């Protein structure tokens, strides 16, 4: 049956693609936020970066739809009014830069910034009486997220850098992140089509991987509702650290 479909059949591809699809789902649930940024680098072990980005996009959108069904009511509308317009502007910038800036350069820059943020939180933790960064910083993070998300679907760390210090309840953080990236990922479709990145073989392959991604979403949402808030944030920062190191490695590689 599968022989008649225009899909990727190399077993080595699926050895990387199945873990990548699972990472996408878990990240979209809001659990271990940012870890989904590893999906494209993982796929890029076996296919080109543009192809990896295109295969990942339908998985991201499917995970967004599934996550929104469970997390839509948990969103923070005030924060989204700050983030969404800036994120869409960043997406436009990413589309204009596509082909001019190499994806590994973008990955390396995001990795450095992510690790610097974590170092600041570890060695210079903010005082309890100091408010988190304001709307201007949030908009800047959202623009950066839009640019990086268009290039390599790794927009999670800039958004997490602004949202995590606000210490939102886990479900509120997960819902806000889910709505932001659902809008960003759907908005990628027209420029991806214009750039010729949408290919039937990649789309069919993505559809084959979708059950793995959806299983990751369901497992992650289950965990978000049951993990203690303190452990939730420890895991979130750990996920950012792993992501930052991997993106930095990709930049140097």
The band of 235, judged by pLDDT with boundaries at 50, 70 and 90, is: low
* Rounded CA separation 146/159 (Å): 10
Instruction: Provide the whole-model pTM.
Output: 0.73
Mean of the per-residue pLDDT values of the chain: 79
Q: Please give the Cα distance from 127 to 107 (Å, whole number).
A: 31
Predicted confidence (pLDDT) per residue in 148-205, tens digit: 888 777 787 788 888 888 888 888 888 898 899 899 999 999 988 888 878 888 888 8
Count of other CB atoms within 10 angstroms of residue 3:
6
126 vs 106, 121, 131, 230, CA distance in Å?
28, 7, 9, 16
Q: Distance between the two ends of the chain, CA-based, in angstroms?
A: 39
Cα separation, 5 vs 48, whole angstroms: 21
Q: pLDDT (tens digit, 9 = 90+) per residue, 18-41?
A: 888 888 887 776 665 556 667 777
Residue spans per domain, the chain: 10-252
Range list of H helices, the chain: 11-28, 39-43, 49-71, 77-97, 103-123, 135-152, 156-163, 170-187, 189-194, 200-226, 229-252
Q: Per-residue pLDDT averaged across 209-223, rounded?
A: 84
């Amino acid at each position: 049956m599968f022989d008649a479909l225009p899909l990727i059949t190399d077993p080595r591809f699926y050895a990387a693609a199945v873990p990548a699809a699972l990472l996408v789902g878990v990240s979209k649930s809001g659990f271990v936020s940012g870890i989904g940024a590893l999906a494209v680098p993982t796929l890029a072990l076996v296919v080109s970066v543009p192809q990896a980005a295109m295969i990942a996009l339908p998985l991201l959108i499917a995970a967004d739809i599934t996550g929104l069904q469970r997390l839509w009511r948990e969103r923070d509308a005030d924060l989204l009014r700050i983030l969404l317009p800036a994120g869409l502007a960043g997406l436009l910038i990413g589309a204009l830069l596509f082909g001019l800036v190499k994806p590994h350069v973008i990955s390396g820059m995001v990795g450095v910034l992510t690790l610097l943020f974590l170092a600041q939180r570890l060695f210079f933790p903010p005082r309890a009486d100091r408010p988190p960064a304001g709307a201007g910083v949030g908009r800047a993070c959202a623009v950066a997220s839009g640019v990086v998300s268009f290039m390599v679907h790794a927009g999670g760390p800039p958004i997490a850098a602004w949202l995590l210090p606000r210490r939102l309840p886990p479900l509120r953080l997960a819902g806000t992140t889910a709505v932001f990236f659902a809008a960003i990922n759907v908005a990628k479709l027209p420029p991806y089509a214009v750039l010729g990145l949408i290919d039937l073989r990649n789309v069919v392959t993505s559809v084959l991987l979708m059950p793995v991604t959806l299983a990751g979403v369901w497992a992650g949402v289950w965990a978000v509702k049951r993990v203690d808030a303190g452990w939730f944030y420890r895991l979130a920062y750990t996920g950012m650290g792993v992501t930052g190191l991997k993106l930095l490695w990709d930049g140097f590689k």
